[in-house]
Amino acid sequence: MADMKRSWSKNSAANSIDSDASDPGPAYVEHTHVEEGETDLARAVRVQLEKKAEETRKEEEEEKEGHEGLLVKRPYSSTASHNIFRRSTSHRPRSQELELVHCRLKDLASLGLSRFKNLQKLCVRQNLITHIDGLDTLSQLKELDMYDNKISHVRNLGGMTVLEYLDLSFNKIKTIAHLDHLTTLTNLFFVSNKISRIDGLETLTLITNLELGANRIRVIEGLDTLVNLEQLWLGKNKITKLEANNNLLSSFEELEQQLADKRHLSTVYLEGNPMQRDNQPTYRTKVKLAVPQVKQIDATRLSMMSTLNMSFSTSVNALLGRRSTGIHW
């Protein structure tokens, strides 16, 4: 969400594959009293009501309608919790934001989200959702956060023609697919899934931030059409070589600065850059001095190429020649 801090970064413990939706961690909203016996979903809904209470106080006074008693104590029941959700949100069909974090939700279809015609932000982090459904009517949705669930396939996002932010990190997704119609996306997150290949992004030309860390990616590819890309995160993958042909690399010093300490780096492709064109006689020697651990420079194999697990960061100006862009391994 726009006002939500992402719960992981390249330096945080959360940026790992150990996260689980069943982890009984704290809900997103803090400093809220939880009544004994209250269900998780009921608590989440009550928190929403409390957050909005001040905004609607005058309206509630005028209408003389209180909402006390909507959230009752009862043993956890999926059906009962969904009923509580319906009753508690029935007075807010014009809401633009909805957060249901750590509520043990297993599906979205039964929540009846079609009532929220004006919904722009939906956060259902840290639940047990296995399928993306029940969202077809949310045509105004701009931000969808389904971080830390149990989703294995990306489907049923066809109605989201203005979606700008999509977070499907910490799920069980193997393939990036069915996103071609989301042409308004600018931020896309697939951290800690089971993705082995970067593809399916050809039409998403407005993306500025793409995060694919902690997957099974071996090759950097499928990015040619992402002309507005500014940040690319690829930490904790299985990438074996860096290809940066025909860009604007000119500084051997910067090359050394960014790559010299990556001791497992074995292959670099730098042909077609100013550093190669302007230093024809000494180009490979200078690259070898800057990055002594490499075994292959362009098509020239210096020795047997080793397997690599990359974990380094560098700027896109140094590697891809795109403006104000960062690539992070």
Question: What is the arithmetic mean of pLDDT over 191-199?
Answer: 96
pLDDT tens, residue by residue, 87-104: 445 446 677 999 999 999
Most distant CA pair in the chain, distance? 85
pTM higher than 0.75, yes or no? no
Strand partners, 185: none
Hey, what amino acid is at 132? I
Question: What is the arithmetic mean of pLDDT over 256-281?
Answer: 83
Strand partners, 123: 99, 145
> Residue 228 above 70 pLDDT?
yes
Confidence of residue 206 (pLDDT cuts 50, 70, 90): very high
> Residue 56 above 70 pLDDT?
no
pLDDT tens, residue by residue, 106-137: 999 888 888 888 999 999 999 999 999 999 88
Greater model confidence, 314 or 328: 328
Q: Are 167 and 144 in contact (CB under 8 A)?
A: yes
* Rounded CA separation 16/14 (Å): 5
3-class SS letters over 52-113: HHHHHHHHHHHHCCCCCCCCCCCCCCHHHHHHHHHHHHCCCCCCCEEECCCCCCCCCHHHCH
Greater model confidence, 107 or 246: 107
Q: How far is CA 80 from CA 59, 72, 83, 170, 186, in A?
A: 28, 10, 5, 28, 37
Is the fold of 93-238 the same as that of 242-308? yes
The CATH architecture to which 93-238 belongs is Alpha-Beta Horseshoe (3.80)
Phi then psi dihedrals of residue 17, to 5 deg: -95, 15
Give the start-to-end residue ranges of the domains of the chain.
Answer: 32-92, 93-238, 242-308
What the block records as the tokens of 56 is 């609607």
CATH code 2.120.10.80 for 242-308:
no
Q: Name the 3-class secondary structure at 247.
A: coil
Question: What is the arithmetic mean of pLDDT over 254-260?
Answer: 81
pLDDT of residue 202: 96
Question: What is the arithmetic mean of pLDDT over 18-36?
Answer: 39
pLDDT tens, residue by residue, 270-321: 889 998 899 988 998 999 898 888 889 888 888 543 333 333 333 333 344 4
